[in-house]
């Protein structure tokens, strides 16, 4: 029992998804909503899935019917109307075999001599829209334009442009040409512009920009090298100053060594002579001592 409920739920979900994805759009070959009697037009259901069985349908003051019911010639997803009459005024849309429907549009067939050429599909918010007041014989006659019955402006060329339309510009528009008459009214719809979605950023592992590389500190120049002649002169001056001290020191050391050597030899000689004198004569000791003391 539980498995059956799940299957039914999946089947319902699939049916809803398929019905939503099969939405088509009805387009008009002349991209306008008003026509004169005797004009021709082609209505097409724009849809990639031709197997869905889309067809053009309409609802007029008489009845609702398909393209093949005497008022148009079906050709695949297109319905061709070769001679339009005032009775063809009505609402048109695309419908599939499963019952899915597109958005509808209003077409008006005028038996008069003036029509208003205006966009048949909704215009995007922020776009410019041009309205033209035309007679059966193409001409650029001066025309007056109205919005919801309120006078807007007189245009010498019969053309009026609405700049950067917004939702406040929606309404029924018509025009009037002196000596020819007034056109039927047509509804102009303004759709909201979709928000601009920024593309997702791809993570690259770098969260922020690397810090800037600082310039290396300036390299100080080495001290200048003095000329060889200056170096020799400086060494010579040091030698001149140092040599006298060095020579005098050597002389003093040499004299001191000589005196020390001479003293040692005299003492040794005296000692030897004294020893000999003791052996020979005791009186000689006094003489030797006296002699040493004198030195």
**pLDDT of residue 270 exceeding 70:** no
Residue 183 CA from chain centroid, whole number: 49
Helix (H, G, I), strand (E, B) or coil at 214: coil
Q: Tell me, what's the pLDDT at 274?
A: 43
Q: Tell me, what's the pLDDT at 248?
A: 73
**pLDDT of residue 269 exceeding 50:** no
Q: Tell me how far CA of residue 21 lies from CA of 8, 48, 78, 259, in angstroms.
A: 20, 11, 20, 131
Question: Which CATH class, in words, describes the domain spanning 22-111?
Answer: mainly beta
Looking at residues 157-168, what average pLDDT do you find? Answer: 95
**pLDDT of residue 268 exceeding 50:** no
Q: Would you say 245 and 253 are in contact if contact means Cβ atoms under 8 Å apart?
A: no
How crowded is residue 98: how many other Cβ atoms within 10 Å of its Cβ? Answer: 11
**pLDDT of residue 162 exceeding 80:** yes
What does the alpha-carbon distance between residue 267 and residue 219 come to, in Å, rounded to a whole number?
73
User: Radius of gyration over alpha carbons of the chain, in Å?
Assistant: 62
* Assigned token pair, 36: 């004169």
Exposure string over 220-230, b if 16+ CB within 10 A, otherwise e? eeeeeeeeeee
Residue 51 CA from chain centroid, whole number: 42
Residue 208 pLDDT level (bands cut at 50, 70, 90): low
Q: Tell me, what's the pLDDT at 276?
A: 54
Considering the entire predicted model, what is its pTM? Answer: 0.58
Q: Which fold has domain 112-193?
A: Immunoglobulin-like (2.60.40)
Q: Tell me, what's the pLDDT at 53?
A: 81
Q: Tell me how far CA of residue 34 lies from CA of 56, 92, 124, 202, 215, in angstroms.
A: 18, 13, 20, 50, 73
More confident position, 294 or 181: 181
Q: Would you say 56 and 43 are in contact if contact means Cβ atoms under 8 Å apart?
A: yes
Looking at residues 51-76, what average pLDDT do you find? Answer: 88
| Residue 200, CA atoms < 13 Å, CB-side half-sphere | 3
């Amino acid at each position: 029992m539980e498995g059956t409920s799940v299957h039914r739920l999946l089947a319902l979900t699939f049916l809803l998804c398929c019905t939503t994805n099969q939405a088509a759009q009805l387009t008009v070959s002349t991209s306008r909503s008003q026509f004169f009697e005797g004009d021709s037009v082609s209505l097409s259901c724009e849809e990639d899935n031709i197997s869905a069985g889309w067809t053009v349908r309409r609802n007029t003051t008489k009845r609702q019917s398909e393209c093949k019911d005497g008022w148009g010639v079906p050709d695949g997803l297109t319905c061709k109307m070769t001679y339009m009459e005032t009775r063809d005024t009505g609402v048109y849309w695309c419908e599939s075999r499963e019952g899915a429907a597109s958005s509808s549009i209003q077409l008006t067939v005028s038996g008069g001599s003036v029509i208003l050429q205006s966009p048949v599909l909704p215009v995007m918010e922020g776009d410019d829209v041009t309205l033209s007041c035309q007679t059966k014989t193409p001409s650029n006659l001066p025309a007056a334009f109205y919005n919801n019955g309120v006078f807007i402006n007189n245009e010498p060329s019969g053309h009026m442009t609405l700049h950067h339309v917004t939702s406040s510009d929606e309404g029924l528009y018509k025009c009037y040409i002196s000596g020819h008459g007034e056109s039927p009214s047509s509804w102009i719809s303004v759709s909201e512009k979709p928000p601009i979605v920024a593309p997702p950023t791809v993570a690259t592992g770098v969260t922020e920009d690397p810090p800037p590389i600082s310039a290396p500190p300036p390299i100080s120049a080495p001290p200048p090298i003095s000329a060889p002649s200056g170096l020799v002169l400086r060494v010579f001056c040091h030698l001149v100053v140092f040599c006298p001290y060095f020579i005098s020191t050597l002389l003093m050391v040499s004299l001191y060594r000589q005196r020390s050597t001479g003293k040692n030899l005299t003492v040794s000689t005296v000692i030897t002579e004294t020893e000999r004198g003791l052996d020979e004569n005791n009186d000689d000791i006094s003489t030797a001592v006296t002699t040493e003391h004198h030195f």
